[in-house]
């Protein structure tokens, strides 16, 4: 019963409200943990360990259902697993506390109220969405070359080698090469990823010191691992790159300090959790590009 309920409200969140927020990633696992504990232990003395394991099995079956219904892919579920596991466990603890208190006389009513609270919270979040914060990630590297040489490899660079980093072998999009049409402000740079191209009109062209660009279009941020060819809603417009830049500074030793910065918006909540993932991924993308520019400039 908790899994069936979970699939119904997940469909509401991702296909009707199209809102990936606290109701889905925090409150739903909590309610799954609580209700599975209350139902399993209702008028049935069960060892605490079995009740706890039952809440974990409920979460696992729920996740398998998301794969089966082609609503999510393996990588997204793995990324969501830590927060889901924690709040399922907290739900189990609350469920045990309720079962051992005077409130156990009203368990059926409590289960119904807990379940109803999930779509209510999801609807509330959808109606009263908080503003999306613009975040930035900055990565730097020292290059044994002049800014003029580095600049040539910043505005465009040839094909990168196949990634060796594990994260890019999971389906996370990674950069392949970059091309540019024209020079100066208004030129169009294409940073090509394995899933498509970022279209980047140049807004500042301060050769060889600063290249800044906005982002007019972007590809899917990942290719989901699934039994099906799926493109979940969260791959479209929930992680949005706004602008980026490369800053070049001459160091006292004659080398160049190259600093790459990306400004983006992550619309998936809760922010405290999902921005840890997105910041890390953007940083690894930066490292892949900067190391390639370094190798090309130091030839």
User: What is the structure's pLDDT at 130?
Assistant: 82
The pLDDT of residue 217: 97
CATH class of 134-297: alpha beta
Q: Tell me the CA distances in angstroms from 251 to 48, 58, 144, 259, one per residue in order.
A: 62, 57, 10, 13
Helix (H) / strand (E) containing 192 = strand 188-193
The confidence score (pLDDT) of residue 118 equals 97
Domain residue extents for the chain = 2-127, 134-297
List of residues 6+ apart from 31 with CB closer than 8 A: 2, 91, 114, 115, 117, 118
* CB neighbour list of residue 16: distance below 8 Å, 6 or more residues apart: none
Q: What is the pLDDT of residue 238?
A: 95
Determine contact, residues 258/287, Cβ cutoff 8 Å. Answer: no
pTM: 0.92
Among candidates 281, 282, 277, 200, which has minimal Cα distance to 243? Answer: 200
Q: What is the 3-state secondary structure (H, E, C) of 240-273?
A: EEEEEEEEEEECCCCCEEEEEEEEEEECCCCHHH
Instruction: Give me the pLDDT at residue 41, please.
Output: 77
- Nearest to 200, CA basis, from 181, 223, 174: 181
Whether 137 and 280 have beta carbons less than 8 Å apart is answered as no
Give the per-residue pLDDT at 277: 96
Which tens digit of pLDDT belongs to each residue from 15-34? 999 999 999 999 999 999 99
Residues of the chain whose pLDDT is less than 70? Answer: none
pLDDT score at 196: 96
Residue 61 in contact with residue 24, Cβ under 8 Å? no
Contacts of residue 219, defined as CB under 8 A and 6 or more positions apart, other chains included, come to: 173, 193, 195, 196, 197, 198
């Amino acid at each position: 019963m908790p899994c069936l309920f979970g699939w119904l409200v997940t469909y509401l969140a991702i296909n009707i409200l199209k809102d990936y927020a606290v109701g889905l990633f925090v409150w739903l696992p909590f309610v799954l943990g609580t209700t599975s504990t209350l139902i399993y232990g209702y008028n049935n003395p069960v060892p605490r360990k079995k009740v706890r394991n039952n809440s974990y099995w409920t979460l696992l079956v729920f996740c398998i259902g998301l794969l089966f219904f082609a609503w999510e892919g393996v990588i997204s579920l793995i990324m969501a697993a830590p927060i889901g596991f924690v709040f399922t466990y907290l739900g189990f603890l609350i469920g045990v506390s309720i079962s051992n208190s005077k409130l156990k006389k009203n368990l059926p009513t409590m289960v119904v109220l807990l379940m109803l609270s999930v779509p209510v919270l999801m609807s509330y979040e959808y109606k009263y969405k908080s503003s999306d914060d613009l975040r930035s990630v900055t990565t730097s590297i020292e290059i044994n070359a002049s800014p003029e040489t580095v600049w040539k490899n910043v505005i465009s660079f040839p094909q990168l080698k196949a990634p060796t980093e594990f994260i890019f072998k999971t389906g996370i999009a990674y950069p392949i090469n970059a091309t540019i049409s024209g020079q100066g402000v208004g030129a169009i740079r294409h940073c090509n990823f394995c899933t498509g191209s970022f279209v980047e009109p140049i807004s500042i062209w301060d050769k060889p010191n600063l290249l800044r660009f906005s982002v007019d279009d972007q590809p899917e941020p990942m290719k989901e691992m699934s039994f099906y060819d799926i493109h979940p809603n969260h791959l479209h417009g929930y992680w949005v790159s706004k602008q980026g830049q490369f800053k070049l500074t001459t160091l006292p030793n004659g080398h160049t300090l190259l600093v790459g910065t990306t400004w983006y918006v992550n619309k998936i909540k809760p922010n405290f959790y999902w921005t840890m993932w997105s910041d890390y991924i953007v940083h690894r993308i930066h490292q892949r590009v900067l190391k390639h520019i370094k190798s090309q400039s130091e030839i």
